[in-house]
Amino acid sequence: MKTHLTATLLASLCLYTGCAQKSGNDMVVTIHTPHGKMVAILFDDTPKHKQNFIKLAREKFYDSLLFHRVIEGFMIQGGDPNSRHAKPGESLGNGGPGYTIDAEFTPAHFHERGALAAARLGDNVNPTKASSGSQFYIVQGRKYAPQELTELEQAINYQRKNNALREILFTNEYAALRETVIKKQQEGDANWLNSFFEQSDTLITKVKKDFRKFTFSDAQKQAYTTVGGAPHLDGEYTVFGKVISGLEVIDKIAAVVKGPGDRPVVDVPMTITVEEMPKSKIEKLFGYKYPDSK
């Protein structure tokens, strides 16, 4: 009896936390659509997202759900359970399984073409950037010129600096400084405000010890200038997988006719299956190379 209970307990823990797959094996995710199928792998270093996606797929949670939001040159999004029986033209995108998943940001995973990532609510109601429990999107994106990436870096850093400064000014400790800034804004003193913003780096790094300047890595620059993607989403949404076969299906879905809310006029339903497979077979079948592959 003790052995049986132990085995049952271990099986339950594996279902919830996701025990490591047998050495050399991985899970292959296949997303079936009327426009063809996409094959994806899920990353081990985003374990909460990986195991949740596998769990939902095994439970057939995604079967007959729609890709309800499609933006050509950007991404295709699905996983809203409210889409299963949605009427034509019905607004979608607010449904989920009743829980969220902690963000799992990993620099090695970014929004290149084919990236599989978790949708989420905005920062104003979701400051920790927690992911939707079921909604996901697949990146189509576009290619970027090197200069565009440089300009995007500058824009991202400006916005992050602005957000950090705003958070600091709205603390009790810096109430006096906040009042000064408000006064200068009311007076329209652009010179003072610009000078204050430019010189605020010392204050930000003093208060926010983890604040870092954003830069694209060499891998990101290589991907975004060659295969393309959506670089402005990096660090904002968790990327937890990658389409390794069927990228052309993304293009087909992205190109369909859309109505209000970027919902396809003709529904694009999905069915998702998962299969355990040796990594060597995955590499051979789909041409994907695992980072630790020899």
CATH code: domain of residue 61: 2.40.100.10
Asked if residue 261 has pLDDT above 60, the reply is: yes
Please compute the mean of the pLDDT values over residues 241-246 and round it to a whole number. Answer: 98
* pLDDT > 50? residue 248: yes
Q: What predicted TM-score, i.e. pTM, was given to this entire model?
A: 0.85
* Rounded CA separation 17/103 (Å): 16
Evaluate whether 51 touches 34 at the Cβ level (below 8 Å). no
Same structural domain for residues 260 and 138? yes
pLDDT at 151 over 50: yes
Q: Are residues 121 and 157 located together in one domain of the fold?
A: no
What is the structure's pLDDT at 255?
A: 98
One domain, residues 97 and 236: yes
219 belongs to a structural domain: no
Q: Please give the average per-residue pLDDT across 164-169, as a whole number.
A: 94
Burial zone of 229 (CB within 10 Å; 0-12 exposed, 13-18 middle, 19+ buried): buried
- Number of neighbouring beta carbons within 10 Å of residue 102: 11
36/60 same-domain check: yes
> Do 216 and 223 contact (CB within 8 A), yes or no?
no
- In a shared domain, residues 120 and 38: yes
Largest separation between any pair of C-alpha atoms in the chain = 79
Round the average pLDDT of the chain to a whole number and report it: 92
**133 & 237 share domain:** yes
Q: 71 is in which domain, residue-wise?
A: 26-142+227-286
Burial (CB count within 10 angstroms: exposed 0-12, middle 13-18, buried 19+), residue 223: buried
pLDDT at 16 over 70: no
Residue 173 lies in a domain: yes
- Same-domain pairing of 240 and 156: no
Integer Cα distance of 272 and 32 in angstroms: 6
**Which SS3 state, helix, strand or coil, does residue 14 take?**
helix
- Residue 54 belongs to what H/E stretch? helix 47-58
SS3 content of the chain, % helix, strand, coil (to 5): 40, 20, 40
Say yes or no to pLDDT of 46 above 80: yes
Residues 118 and 263 in one domain: yes
Enumerate residues 6+ apart whose C-beta is below 8 A from 268: 33, 34, 35, 66, 67, 70, 76, 78, 253, 256
Stretch (H or E) spanning 177: helix 175-187
Check whether residue 119 and residue 157 sit in a common domain.
Answer: no
The 10s digit of each residue's pLDDT in 99-135 is 999 999 999 999 999 999 999 999 889 989 999 999 9
> Rounded distance, CA 93 to CA 104, Å?
22
Q: Do both 137 and 151 map to the same domain? A: no
What is the total count of domains within the chain?
Answer: 2
For the chain, first and last CA: distance in Å?
44
Q: Is residue 7 part of a domain?
A: no
Nearest alpha-carbon partner for 223 in 141, 285, 164: 141
Instruction: Please tell me whether residues 134 and 155 are part of one structural domain.
Output: no
In a domain, 220, yes or no: no
125 inside domain: yes
3-state secondary structure of 76: strand
Residue 275 belongs to some domain of the structure: yes
With respect to residue 196, please indicate whether it lies within any of the assigned structural domains. Answer: yes
Residue 10 lies in a domain: no
Judge if 202 and 253 occupy the same domain: no
